[in-house]
Amino acid sequence: MTWRVALQMDPPERLNPAGDSTILLALEAQRRGHALWWYPAGSLCWREGVLWTQHARRIRFFDDTSRWFEQDAPETLGLNEMDVVLMRQDPPFDMGYLTATYLLERIHPRTWVANDPFHVRNAPEKLLPLLFADAMPPTLISHDAAAIRTFLAEQGDIVVKPLYGYGGHAVFRLNGQSGNVEAILETLLAQPEPLVAQRFLPEVTEGDRRVVMIDGQVAGLLGRLPAAGEIRANLRVGGTAAQAALTPRQQDICARLGPALQARGILLAGVDFIGDWLTEINITSPTGLRALKQLYGTAPEADFWDAVARRRAA
């Protein structure tokens, strides 16, 4: 059976053809005979039960880093008529993003939306791990500078970052040697969103772990090694992917996570560990599929579409 698939994503020219997971998912969809369109999230319109965009483009992807897509002229596309919608645009997790989840919720699951927009909205990546607080390092979520200073004094060495940040942006380490704590807090707290503060884990100098989970099952594991002098191992900020193995504690945590992700319709998640500590569960637009394929010769993109097919059939 072939499907009509809409990709809610950033403009394709902004994608990294060498490593982007969206391209890999799209290539597998095309291999299965599915027809693809893409549209920007801000273009959604709703009226009298119909959700559509006037800015969709029929698109075809190629496994070629010099020419990775071609697209047709803009057209009006009714999302109620689609078989599947993939939410694949990058954060920020702002009101525009939230509005898209509200609108897509109106058509799901008749049009299958992955990940489930209700749970994408209600379980952003730095809040979903709170369901498993015992697996996390000491963590504070706050917009109160005094509370963050107290947490720093208690822990001695912490990392702070915006609650709805992504890709390793605006991540700072604060400790007794930091001479600009107040300036960093003043800058970060100038934004309305709270911060996440966590005890600094020295294991991060040896890299972190990204576990790709598809429909609640472990599909693969990436070791992510930070660049020299960095505490951020994200591939987008210069980290390097490497083969790795799960520790017994990481396996136990993933076994606990699996049913929770399945129950929430989270077909694709990127679960992050530093050492044996759970730090994030990425569900908005998780990456790492291309690196898994290159490191292990597996096909996580096929596993994903198999999971979509099972969910739609059910």
Which residues are marked as active site? 126, 161, 210, 224, 232, 272, 280, 282
Under DSSP, is residue 130 helix (H, G, I), strand (E, B) or coil? helix
How open is the CA angle 187-190-193, to the nearest 5 degrees?
A: 115
The C-alpha atoms of residue 8 and residue 114 are separated, in whole angstroms, by 10
Residue 207 C-alpha from the chain's centroid? 19
The C-alpha atoms of residue 39 and residue 10 are separated, in whole angstroms, by 8
The C-alpha atoms of residue 283 and residue 213 are separated, in whole angstroms, by 10
Q: Are 197 and 160 in contact (CB under 8 A)?
A: yes
Q: Are 135 and 195 in contact (CB under 8 A)?
A: no
Both tokens assigned to 121: 């909205």
Angle between helices 181-188 and 145-155 (to 10 degrees): 140
Q: How far apart are the first and last CA of the chain?
A: 15
240 CB-contact burial (10 Å; exposed 0-12 / middle 13-18 / buried 19+): middle
How open is the CA angle 278-216-93, to the nearest 5 degrees?
A: 60
- What residues form DSSP beta bridges with 85? 6, 113
Q: Are 290 and 304 in contact (CB under 8 A)?
A: no
How open is the CA angle 111-96-43, to the nearest 5 degrees?
A: 60
Q: Which helix (H) or strand (E) segment is 259 a member of?
A: helix 248-263
